[in-house]
Amino acid sequence: MHQDARGHAVALSNPAALDAYERALYALQTYRGDPLAPLDEAIGLDAGFAASYATKALILATFFERRFMRDALAALDQGRDALARGTQREQALAAAARRIAEGAWHEGARMLDRILAEHPRDIVALQAAHLMDFYRGDALNLRNRVSRVLPSWSASVPGYAYVLGMHAFGFEECNQYPEAERAGRRAVALSEDDAWAVHAVAHVMEMQGRIEEGIDWYRETRHVWAGGDNGFAFHNAWHVALFHMDRAEYVPALEIFDARLAGGGEMALVRVDATALLWRLRLEGVDVSARFGAVADGWERALEDESGFYAFNDFHAAMAFAAAGRREALTRLRLALARATSRAGSNAEMTLAVGLGVCEAAIDFCEERFAAAAEKLAGVRDVANRFGGSHAQRDLLTLTLIEAARRAGLPRLARHYAAERLVHKPASAWGRRLVERIDAPQARRAA
């Protein structure tokens, strides 16, 4: 029986397939290159390599679109015979991937954790579960799931730095900023290629309002995250844009949009960032109507297949459609949301708890029903983690709530939420701008 680089038994007959498999895991951990191509290479070298099918299915599932969930199930069906002869761990990975792909996201995450209890160095189970925790808004397990396995890791185990990078992000989402920054900086120092850890440290600086340091951090680590083959570069660039926006530097933010996010993207993850950046610019009074049209086109191309799959994505689609005046697309999206609430699976809960309210709030805002938008956002903002994303991403809800309250002539409500920002980010200029805008003579700006 052969073993992978972390000492797990793997079912295969051709050792050359294991080298391709490890290259896939490296691509997964670093977000550099395509992790699926070396997995297909491994399968081509050894059709009985069970772990390759399970890993391929989990990676596809964590792209978190309906089309990729179908591909994940196809990968498992392709490897059915190999998986039947695989190890118990490989079969458990495949079973977790299947439940995730079928929409049972919470159950799938629990299944991955059971694997980690037996195999704490299973980097595939850990990274897949970490991403599932992010999509499900489970901040506690973004931290604790890594904490539970960390004693089994050390610098001598391949992939240790990337485990630290995941731990850093978990710490940050649990508001443990010093611990997050230490873990993230150590991960980058050890690996010199951990774009996820770079991003975790940037989140700390964003949440603490350390804007100058954030821009410097991204400049210093550009070699880690900005390469053309880095699949996470678009999101790190999005964070750079947020730092510029805090300083009211809208031109650099637009330049980042045009270079990294324009066109709507073929991946929902890119469209989410594109939409969120444009919406923030819109709240700041920047004319982004032309750019919003292209992003709305991207969401509309995916509408038939992807609407109602994941509430967090649906919210961003609703913002894009509302901002671009796509009434017919909004009607179709609303129907998809209604259907989603009656289907089995984790997304029904997310949609009912948060998705419906925030989508309607975005529509209300664009149609100048500002008081209604503020009321809806105030009702769901504090439980919005239940539909996924990070603190930085969900900050969009607070920014919209403040501006909706201001435009509705509800300055006390607007100040109430702006005050929170001033306390948490005293060095941030954005919070001070919000207060100045609230206190200025009331005049609704054109969106």
pLDDT digits (tens, 9 = 90+) for 375-387: 999 999 999 999 9
Nearest one of 442, 328, 364, 347 to 104, comparing CA atoms: 347
pLDDT band at 227 (very low <50, low <70, confident <90, very high): confident
Task: Tell whether the model's pLDDT for residue 247 goes beyond 60.
Answer: yes
Over residues 264-272, mean pLDDT: 90
pLDDT score, position 264: 67
Over residues 150-161, mean pLDDT: 97
Please report the sign of the dihedral spanned by the C-alpha atoms of residue 388, residue 389, residue 391, residue 395: negative
Q: Distance between CA atoms of 22 and 12, rounded to whole angstroms?
A: 14
* Radius of gyration of the chain from its Cα atoms, rounded to whole angstroms: 22
Over residues 20-32, mean pLDDT: 97
Say how far residue 379 (Cα) sits from the centre of its chain.
23
pLDDT score, position 228: 81
With H, G, I as helix, E, B as strand and everything else as coil, classify residue 230: strand
Which residue's entry shows tokens 């969009």? Answer: 396
The CA-atom distances, in angstroms, between 41 and each of 34, 38, 206, 262 are 12, 5, 40, 32
pLDDT score, position 446: 37
Minimum mean pLDDT range among 181-185, 428-432, 441-445? 441-445
Q: Distance between CA atoms of 382 and 140, rounded to whole angstroms?
A: 16
Over residues 72-99, mean pLDDT: 98
Phi, psi at residue 226, to the nearest 5°? -100, 0
pLDDT band at 447 (very low <50, low <70, confident <90, very high): very low
Q: Distance between CA atoms of 125 and 119, rounded to whole angstroms?
A: 9
Q: Distance between CA atoms of 146 and 149, rounded to whole angstroms?
A: 5
CATH architecture designation of domain 1-120: Alpha Horseshoe (1.25)
Over residues 90-101, mean pLDDT: 98
Classify residue 50 as exposed, middle or buried by CB count within 10 Å of its CB (0-12, 13-18, 19+): buried
Nearest one of 381, 396, 233 to 316, comparing CA atoms: 396
Q: Do the beta carbons of residue 185 and residue 198 sit within 8 Å?
A: no
Average pLDDT score, the chain: 96
Instruction: Find the DSSP H helices in 209-302.
Output: 211-220, 222-225, 233-246, 250-256, 268-283, 289-301
Q: Distance between CA atoms of 340 and 348, rounded to whole angstroms?
A: 6
Among residues of the chain, what percentage have pLDDT more than 90?
A: 95
Q: Distance between CA atoms of 368 and 445, rounded to whole angstroms?
A: 11
Nearest one of 336, 361, 353, 420 to 388, comparing CA atoms: 353
Minimum mean pLDDT range among 31-45, 162-176, 296-310, 430-444? 430-444
pLDDT band at 191 (very low <50, low <70, confident <90, very high): very high
Higher pLDDT, 280 or 229: 280
Q: Distance between CA atoms of 447 and 362, rounded to whole angstroms?
A: 13
Q: CATH 1.25.40.10 region(s) of the chain?
A: 138-259
Nearest one of 58, 51, 112, 116 to 86, comparing CA atoms: 51
Among residues of the chain, what percentage have pLDDT more than 70?
A: 98
Q: Distance between CA atoms of 430 and 418, rounded to whole angstroms?
A: 10
Q: Do the beta carbons of residue 237 and residue 255 sit within 8 Å?
A: no
| Polymer length in residues for the chain | 447
Task: Tell whether the model's pLDDT for residue 443 goes beyond 50.
Answer: no
Over residues 396-411, mean pLDDT: 98
Strands 9-10 and 2-3: what pairing? antiparallel
Task: Tell whether the model's pLDDT for residue 442 goes beyond 80.
Answer: no
Task: Tell whether the model's pLDDT for residue 119 goes beyond 90.
Answer: yes
Query: Between vectors from CA 367 to CA 363 and to CA 373, what angle results, nearest 5°?
Result: 55
**Looking at the domain that runs over 138-259, which CATH code has it been given?**
1.25.40.10
